[in-house]
């Protein structure tokens, strides 16, 4: 009977070690699986952040192109308007007065277009920056989780 007690205890000890081994493997496998998922999400976030950076750079170039075009058009209108300056008197040549008013309207329109483009550029930049901030915050949180999992 004494031998049975020893064998029984021995079997229980072996069984406990085996369960602990499986639990450790399961935990390790789970950690690897979660880490793999985190790695994939981190990589997706890196790509999304890079896409936003690229979009911001592209929008900046587009804004510069629009502003240059608007400024060129305004300069052309100013040149035409300067050709109509007096010696003629206002209202003396109705056709010239109509042309002068049209040029002024065109200049006003260019100025409005410029302001509208600057506002749209600012709005786009703010929206992209907000979106980028969300991705960066999530990226940092996932990096922290990944470090904590790695230390287990």
| Alpha helices, DSSP H, located in the chain | 2-83, 94-150
- The rounded Cα 8 to chain-centroid distance in angstroms is 64
Domain residue ranges in the chain:
2-150
- For residue 1, pLDDT over 80 is answered with no
**What's the pTM?**
0.66
pLDDT band at 37 (very low <50, low <70, confident <90, very high): confident
Are 84 and 99 within 8 A, CB to CB?
yes
Q: What is the pLDDT of residue 18?
A: 41
In CATH terms, the fold of domain 2-150 is Helix Hairpins (1.10.287)
């Amino acid at each position: 009977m004494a031998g049975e007690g020893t064998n029984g205890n021995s079997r229980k000890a072996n069984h406990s070690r085996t369960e602990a081994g499986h639990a450790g493997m399961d935990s390790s496998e789970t950690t690897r699986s979660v880490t793999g998922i985190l790695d994939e999400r981190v990589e997706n976030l890196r790509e999304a952040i890079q896409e936003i950076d690229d979009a911001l750079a592209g929008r900046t170039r587009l804004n510069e192109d629009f502003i240059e075009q608007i400024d060129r058009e305004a300069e052309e209108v100013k040149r035409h308007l300067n050709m109509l300056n007096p010696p003629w008197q206002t209202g003396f040549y109705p056709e010239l007065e109509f042309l002068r008013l049209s040029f002024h309207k065109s200049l006003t329109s260019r100025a409005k277009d410029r302001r509208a483009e600057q506002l749209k550029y600012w709005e786009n930049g703010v929206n992209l920056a907000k979106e980028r901030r969300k991705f960066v915050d999530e990226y940092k949180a996932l990096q922290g989780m990944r470090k904590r999992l790695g230390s287990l």
